[in-house]
Chains A and B, each alone.
Chain A
Amino acid sequence: MESKIGAHCTVEAVVYRADGRVESLGVICEGQMKPVEKKTLINTLKGMIKHG
């Protein structure tokens, strides 16, 4: 049995207008990463660090 990991991603935004107005937009987009095997994620992260 493989241990899996998933991830939920969100982007929140606040707009600061040049005239001083502030617009809090909250979450403007989100998505759920498909579950991947733990070792796959770790290897991916190690690769990003190695080649970063």
Chain B
Amino acid sequence: MADAAYLTNHGIDYIVTLVDTTDELKYVAWGTGATGAAVTDSAMETAAAPTNETAGTGSLAKATTTTDDDTLQVTHTITAGGSLTITEVGVFNQATLSGAICAFHGTFTGIAVSSGDSIAFTLKTVFDQAA
């Protein structure tokens, strides 16, 4: 028998369910920063209105990508009040960005929006055994 130790698919399901049950990592902010996201990030680079101080309340759910309940998914739509070029999005554990934990940070090629335009974001984290 080969030596082996894995977090099982059920173990991943358990962790995803644990986070989903807390229903905390669902607050979404967008921004206009110019620096690429890094695993050491602790905040948005430049959070932008209407989420410059307070993130919007999104929806957190677990989903299935490869194995049952291996995915955390946050969805939220933000509407611009003026002209912006959106380049970053983040997920936090509370609406008030000051002191919040930045759990997810993504950066991308700018999306130009004008007053009344909205972006519907779907942020997914798919866990696996990291072979």
Query: B residues within 8 Å of A by Cβ?
Result: 3-7, 11-12, 15, 18-19, 22, 24-25, 37, 39, 77, 89, 93-94, 101, 103-104, 106-109, 111, 113-130
Contact of B117 among A1, A6, A8, A16 (CB under 8 A): A16
What is the minimal beta-carbon distance from A12 to any residue of chain B, in angstroms? Answer: 4
Q: Which residues of chain A have C-beta atoms less than 8 A from B129's C-beta?
A: 3-6
The reply to whether A12 and B93 contact each other, CB–CB distance below 8 Å, is no
Q: Which residues of chain A have C-beta atoms less than 8 A from B120's C-beta?
A: 13-16
Q: Which A residue's beta carbon lies closest to that of B107? A: A29
The reply to whether A14 and B108 contact each other, CB–CB distance below 8 Å, is no
Q: Which B residue's beta carbon lies closest to that of A23? A: B111
